[in-house]
Structure 1
Amino acid sequence: MSDDSGLWLLAAGPAAATGLYWALYRYYRNTDKSHAFERETLVEAKPVTGDERRVATNNGTQERRIRGDNVGEYRKRVARTR
């Protein structure tokens, strides 16, 4: 029997690792199935509409707390799943 009979087993390891890497890469990346948004999607821009009426201010630098926060109400913030 020849001493080279187990050489194919040593070559099978790197070949299998390369094949597994490529299969996982193709499975998770889906490069052949991905949607090219920039090329395949038509976006029609319309003119901006609006007015100069001021609705409200949201300036948190004047008040130390946000009105209506629930920091102290732990039971309301975290709901238990059953």
Structure 2
Amino acid sequence: MSDDGGLWLLALGPAGATSLYWFLYRYYRNTDKSHAFERETAVDAKPVTGSDQKVDEVKGTRETRIRGDNVSAYRERVRRIRSDSS
């Protein structure tokens, strides 16, 4: 039969796609070579320090803007960085 000769070519497509997928998966994921942070890293936890200080209290949603915002003051929000070397 002459059809048997082309059967390997037909099977080459899915086999090639599967091997390419597996190669790319192993290359980019490389799970066997990755660093296991949870097992290999020691983290010493320390107590949290600091203080809480109540500044102000706003009840309800009557104010539509935040006091002291700088939305309209573009020049104050964004400053050009000047280099001293010029």
TM-based fold match above 0.5: yes
Instruction: Give, in whole Å, the separation in 2 of the partners of 1:57 and 1:23.
Output: 59
Distance, in Å, in 1 between the alignment partners of 2:42 and 2:25 is: 30
Of all paired residues, the percent bearing the same amino acid is 62
Question: Which consecutive aligned stretches of 4+ in structure 1 deviate over 6 angstroms post-superposition?
Answer: none
**Paired residue total:** 71
- How far off is 1:30 after superposition? 2.5
TM-score, normalization: structure 1?
0.62
Q: Distance in 1 between matches of 2:33 and 2:56?
A: 46
Aligned to 1:69: 71
Which whole-Å CA distance do the structure 2 matches of 1:55 and 1:25 have between them?
A: 52
| Structure-1 residue corresponding to 2:24 | 24
What's the TM-score once normalised by structure 2's chain length?
0.60
Q: Secondary structure at the match of 1:63?
A: coil
Can you list the C-alpha shifts for 1:12-58, whole angstroms capped at 9, x where unaligned? 11110101111121223221232211101100011222234x16358
| Equivalent position of 2:83 in the other structure | none
Distance 1:26 1:12 in 2: 21
> Aligned in 2, Cα 1:31/1:58: closer, same or farther, shift over 3 Å?
farther
- Please tell me whether residue 11 in structure 1 is matched to residue 11 in structure 2: yes
CA distance in structure 1 between the partners assigned to 2:23 and 2:57 by the alignment = 51
Question: Structure 2 regions of 5+ residues with no counterpart?
Answer: 79-86
